[in-house]
Amino acid sequence: MRSHTLAVLPGDGVGPEVTGAALTVLDAAQDRFGFGTERTEIPLGADHYLATGELLPEDTVTALGDHDAILFGAIGSPRVTPGILERGIILALRGAMRQAINLRPVRLYPGVPTPIAGLTPERCDLVIVRENTEGAYVAQGSRVHPGTPAWTAVQESVNTWYAVERAVDFAYRLARVRRGRLTLCHKTNVLVEAGKLWTAVMETVGERYPDVETDYVHVDAMCMHLPVSPERFDVVVTDNLFGDIVTDLGAVLQGGLGVAASGNLNIEGNGTSMFEPIHGSAPDIAGRGWANPAGACLSLALLLGHLGEGEAAAAVEAATAAVLAELPALAGADMGASTDELGKRIARALTSGETGSGPVPPLEGSLMGQLAQVMAGSG
């Protein structure tokens, strides 16, 4: 039987709840599609940090590197100064595992309520490719005279040809197997140095993809176009900070943060890819079963696609979408079922092959299928 090694990092707040639901769905996927996983749970996050002082120990990095994929819940806690866990664990992991790409699909599933009036699933199917290792996230910076009126802070953004080309090339390849359209999102009219580099990379790499049509949108204008006319976008490539911001907006189109999934992809074969819902640890609702596990389950679908379990990936996506469509509300006490119950419901939909909205869709034409095609040409 095929088997994959999986590191599970439930993390803080609602992280363990949504991860638990995703693992129930994974059990069902394994039964139906005949593969196994060997899972190692790794206790990173606020509790571990407060108890041991450790954020991301070296031996954990080594252990993670030996796994086929990482399933991540959420990290962050009001008990720890903002920035310590985020930078010390999430960003450190993305860097240590050389997760060059943060892949964030923005897809409205049929029957899912969106706050954007008149938006339909046919009009909302794009993928944001966020450069995942540098930009303003390099944690460089300096200060003078802190705590005085002369307090001065400098926070640089770093853009290397190497990392930008890696992200842009991936985005072109993804666009090529999708609708053949790639948009660069930046702020070239103000951040002119970074902007020139990104634009030059787009042009240079674009010579290898003459069949992909390209355009450019400023990040502020993107915040207007995305809710009003998402259909004009297929693949969007952008820097780390802009990508962080526009993907939260993208999540709103999809129905909210509880639905949005992501994959932190290593595309060079020198580290382990990690899959996580976009939402955070939501400490205010932790422990109540109010978190929607859809984001975690759709992240699991991306993980399965990445492991080459394409059929299982497409089935998990379809089962999650089917259960999502039945919910009276997308999160909180009104969701109609707890996080745990929803995990079981998605697992049942998967096991029976009945998705409520028809048979499980074919891999071909699905995002998982597209990713498999792109990843086959990577590394």
Cα 83 to the chain's mean position, in Å? 20
Binding partner of residue 171 among ligand IPM, Mg ion, none, CB cut-off 5 to 8 Å per kind: none
Q: Which does 311 bind (CB under 5 to 8 A by kind): ligand IPM, Mg ion, none?
A: none
Whole-angstrom Cα distance, residue 84 to residue 276? 19
- Number of residues assigned to the chain: 379
In angstroms, rounded to a whole number, what is the distance separating the alpha carbons of residues 202 and 3?
Answer: 39
Contact 315, 32 (CB under 8 A): yes
Q: Is 244 in the site for Mg ion (CB under 5 A)?
A: yes
Least distance to ligand IPM, CB of residue 91, Å: 6
Q: Using alpha carbons, list the distances in angstroms from residue 155 to 83, 96, 136.
A: 15, 22, 7
Residue 12 or 244: which CB sits closer to Mg ion? 244
User: Nearest approach, Cβ of 104 to ligand IPM (angstroms)?
Assistant: 8
Q: For residues 30 and 254, which CB has a smaller minimum distance to ligand IPM in the complex?
A: 254
d(CA 33, CA 43): 29
Number of residues lying near Mg ion (CB under 5 A): 1
90 binds, among ligand IPM, Mg ion, none (CB under 5 to 8 A by kind): ligand IPM
Nearer to ligand IPM, 90 or 112 (CB): 90
- Name which of 209 and 275 has its Cβ closer to Mg ion: 275
Chain residues binding ligand IPM by CB under 6 A are 86, 90-91, 244, 278
Q: How far apart are CA 248 and CA 254, in angstroms?
A: 10
Minimal distance, residue 243 CB to Mg ion, in Å: 9
Residue 353: helix, strand or coil by DSSP? coil
How does DSSP classify residue 179? T
Shortest CB 90 distance to ligand IPM, Å: 5
Sign of the four-CA dihedral 158, 161, 162, 165: positive
Q: What's the rounded Cα separation, in Å, for the pair 90 and 306? A: 20
- For 67, which DSSP code? S
- Give the separation between CA 44 and CA 330, rounded to whole angstroms: 28
Tell me the residue number closest to Mg ion, measured at CB: 244
Q: Cβ 96 to ligand IPM, closest distance in Å?
A: 15
Asked whether position 309 contacts Mg ion by CB under 5 A, the answer is no
Distance of closest approach, residue 48 Cβ to ligand IPM, in angstroms: 17
Work out what residue 86 binds among Mg ion, ligand IPM, none; the CB cut-off runs from 5 to 8 Å by kind.
Answer: ligand IPM
Residue 32 or 130 with smaller CB distance to Mg ion = 130
Instruction: Rule CB under 5 A: say whether 276 interacts with Mg ion.
Output: no
Residue 237: what residue type?
A: V
Shortest distance (Å) from residue 358 CB to ligand IPM: 33
From the list ligand IPM, Mg ion, none, partner contacted by residue 341 (C-beta under 5 to 8 A by kind): none
Strands 181-186 and 235-238: parallel
* Residues within the interface to Mg ion (CB under 5 A): 244
